[in-house]
Every structure is written in C-alpha cells, then in structure tokens.
Amino acid sequence: MPHVAITIVTWNSMKYLPEALASVEAQTFRDYTLIIVDNASADGVEKFVREHHPRATFLRNSKNLGFAHAHNQAITYAKAQLGKDGQDLYVLCTNPDIIMEPGYLAAITDAMERRPEMGSACGKLLTVVAKGDGEDREPQFTNMIDSTGLKPYKSRRFVDRGAGESDGGGRYDATEEVFGAPGALALYRMVALESVAYKGEFFDEDFFVYKEDIDLAWRLRLAGWGCLYSPSARAYHFRSAYGREKASFLDVIRGRRNRSKAVNFYSFRNHKLLLLKNDHFLNATLDFPRVMWYELRKFLYVLFAEPATLRAVPSYWGLVPRMLRKRAFVMKSAKVKAKDVRKWFA
C-alpha cells in the first residue's frame, strides 16, 4: 500500500498555512505523514502547529537554510522514520500557500500506482486570491490555471503550462505526460528521488530557493523517469511571483519589476546553473541561437535596469566548479539520449 510523506517548508508563512493544513486534514486518502520544516520563522508557526496539528512532525531550523535544504531534511526524515519500501513511499512537496481539494491525494497516488515508470506527478493547479484582510480574509477560488506541469522552450525558458489561461474547453482535462512537476505541489516517487540524489541531496541545495524544482525535473527526465499530469487531482495556489505561459519578453520584464531583489537574484543565477548542470552539449549547440538571444536580452535588461541583480554573476562563477562536478554525476547517470530530452523543448 502506498504511503505519502507530505512535506511543507515554512518561512513566516502563517498568512497561508492554516488553510493549507486544513486542506491536508480534509484529504480522503488517510495513509500520510505530515512533516513541517520551519526556516526560523518569527510568526508563531511552531505554537500554532503544536496546538492545532499535534500529529504533524515539526522540525525547526535556527536560521533560514533555504527551500531546497529544508525539503531535503523532511525527505531524509521521512525515509528514515517510515521505513517503507521506496517503491511504496511517495513524497508530496507542498508550498504553504496551497489549498488541496479533498480528493487530491487519492487521485494523484492512484494515477501514479498505475504508471510505475513515472517518477513524479502533478495535478491541475488553479489560482486562489485573498479577499479581505485579517479575520475577514477569505480565499476566493478562481478558474484561472496556475500550472498543469512544467514546459520548456528551445530558448530554455521554463514556464508553467497553461498559466494565465481560463480552465475550460477540455484542453487540460487529459491525463498525460509532461516535462516535470512544479515545486509548489509535486508528488515524487521515493525511488526516483534516490536515483538522482547527489551526496544525499534530492533538491540541489546550492540553488537555495527558486528553480530547484526545474533542476530536479530535468535530472529525473535524464535518469529516464517520466512525469504524469493528472487533472482529476485539483488544488489551488496563492502565487506571489506569477507569470503567464504565453507571456512575451516584455511581459517577463514587467513581471521582474514586481518581484523582490532576492527573487530576481536567485531566479537569474539559478537559471544559468541549471543550464550548465543539465543541458546536453548537443542540444545546447542545436538551440544555441535561441538560447543566446534570450540570455543576451535578459543580461542587457539587468545591466541597465536592474543592476542590483548583477551580483548574481560572481555568485554563479563561484559555483561553477561545484556545478561541473554535479554535471559529471548527472551525465554519467543519464539513461536517455539527447534527442529524447530535446523533444520536450517547444
């Protein structure tokens, strides 16, 4: 029988966490363990969890160690404590700003049990917005798609498939394979995670936060694992850093203006890290003009309009030696050819 370890990483997330945990407890699938890792929040999350969700395992870090490290802590803890066969153990990595419908876990685990070649899965993620403030605040559920899986382009721009579109017409109602699962709500097969772990790391901790989900999706794809999209598993996401799938380059730039300096720093740096680490040389060569045109435009924008982000450049170069070692491990472990990955780039 499958068992799901639900892992949630918090960092001053009490604005959303009560609704997320309420949706966890409302799941019809009951064979789960809830693990919360807090990155030194100052909003009373530990007291809230221990008082209102005593069944949850709560781990607290003395400082913010990042999204990737904290999820790795939870996954390692789940594997050690549950003692399950890896084939029967799943890990659901969940943002604290997610609200799942009651049948989410049942639908997505059933879909995965039918497809053992799939290493990860995601459901239909729609957007939810907050209406009102304080005690009067209520979630307002929309019909706008947040994500139906990760979608890469030949320029190496990664987007959330269907983001910004209205859910209707049946376009995203078929169970199908996608490139990868978005980190906001992703189900992983434990054996798949173990197959791509580098020195005990499932998510790459050098990424700290942002695009670590794309890196993991790419590594799983290279290792021969598929990713399943199951539309019957539905959930909702309060998204702070939002972008549409069909956004133009100017739309992407406008979106950066609404993000914090930290988000822009990690997004800019980590994108280059994941290309260095995971892209086949042949694929990168074939798509070189598209990649360079996209990267050149981004760099020129940062140079003239977002100079604070330029500190990502020396940070990137400082991590290059380590990324090359990780790249050697990734490529040595790869079970698919360049053309098998290239077909996913639109």
Same domain, 124 and 61: yes
- Rounded CA-CA distance 242/182 in Å is 13
Same domain, 258 and 176: no
Q: Provide the Cα torsion 127, 161, 258, 214; round to 10°.
A: 110
pLDDT for res 109: 97
Spatial contact of 127 and 146, defined as CB atoms under 8 Å apart: yes
Same domain, 210 and 231: yes
Among residues 203, 237, 271, the one where a domain terminates is 237
Asked whether residue 126 is assigned to any structural domain, the reply reads yes
Same domain, 84 and 219: yes
Same domain, 110 and 161: yes
Spatial contact of 313 and 258, defined as CB atoms under 8 Å apart: no
Same domain, 106 and 139: yes
- Rounded CA-CA distance 311/288 in Å is 25
- Mean pLDDT per block of 10 residues along the chain (346 residues) reads 95 94 98 97 95 96 95 95 74 97 98 96 95 75 96 96 91 96 97 96 96 98 98 91 60 67 93 98 97 94 92 97 98 96 95
Same domain, 126 and 274: no
Q: Where does 279-311 have alpha helices with state H?
A: 281-286, 288-305
Segments forming the whole domain that contains residue 190:
3-237
Same domain, 70 and 90: yes
Among residues 237, 268, 303, the one where a domain terminates is 237
Phi, psi of 41 (to 5 degrees): -70, 160
Same domain, 223 and 267: no
Asked whether residue 170 is assigned to any structural domain, the reply reads yes
Asked whether residue 244 is assigned to any structural domain, the reply reads no
Q: Could you give the number of structural domains in the chain?
A: 2
Same domain, 323 and 260: yes
pLDDT for res 251: 62
Asked whether residue 243 is assigned to any structural domain, the reply reads no
- Rounded CA-CA distance 150/162 in Å is 9
Same domain, 330 and 229: no
Q: Which are the contacts of 159, defined by CB distance < 8 A and separation ≥ 6?
A: 150, 151, 152, 153, 243, 244, 245, 247
pTM of the model: 0.93
57 token code pair:
């395992």
Asked whether residue 206 is assigned to any structural domain, the reply reads yes
Q: Where does 56-133 have alpha helices with state H?
A: 67-82, 104-113
- Which tens digit of pLDDT belongs to each residue from 96-155? 999 999 999 999 999 999 999 999 999 999 999 888 776 667 889 999 999 999 999 999
